[in-house]
Structure 1
Amino acid sequence: MDGASLVAAEKNLTREERTEQMFLRASGITDIAEQQACLDEIVLLNAGVAEALAGRYAQRGADLDDLVQVAYLGLVKAVQGYRIGEGPGFLAYAVPTISGEIKRYFRDHGWMVRPPRRLQELRSAAVTSAADLEQTWGRPPTKAEVAKDLGVPVAELAEAEQSRAGYSALSLDAPVRSDGSIPLGDLLVDEGDEFSRIDDAEMLRPALATLSPRDRQILLLRFVRGLTQEQIGREIGVSQMQVSRLLSRILAGLREQLEVPV
Structure 2
Amino acid sequence: MALLLPWDPPITRVETDGPNRRAGPRVVASSGSPSGDPYAAAAPARPPPIVARSDVTLHALSETGPEPDPQLTRPSEYADEMPRLRRFAGLPEGSPERARLRSELIVAFLPVVRNLAKRHGAGYRGGQEDLVQVGTVGLINAIDRWNPDRAQGEFLGFLIPSVRGEMLRYFRDRTWSVRVPRRLKELSVEITRASGPLSHRLGRAPKPSELARHLGVDVGEIVEALTAKANQHTAPLEAVAGDEPGTGVVDTLGDLDRDLEKVENREALRPLIAELPERERGILTMRFFGDRTQTQIAEHFGISQMHVSRLLARTLARLREGLTEERG
Higher share in helix: 1
> Considering the TM-score relative to the shorter chain, is it more than 0.5?
no
Please indicate the TM-score interval, normalised by the length of the shorter structure.
0.3 to 0.5
Instruction: Output the TM-score relative to the length of structure 1.
Output: 0.34
Instruction: Output the TM-score relative to the length of structure 2.
Output: 0.28
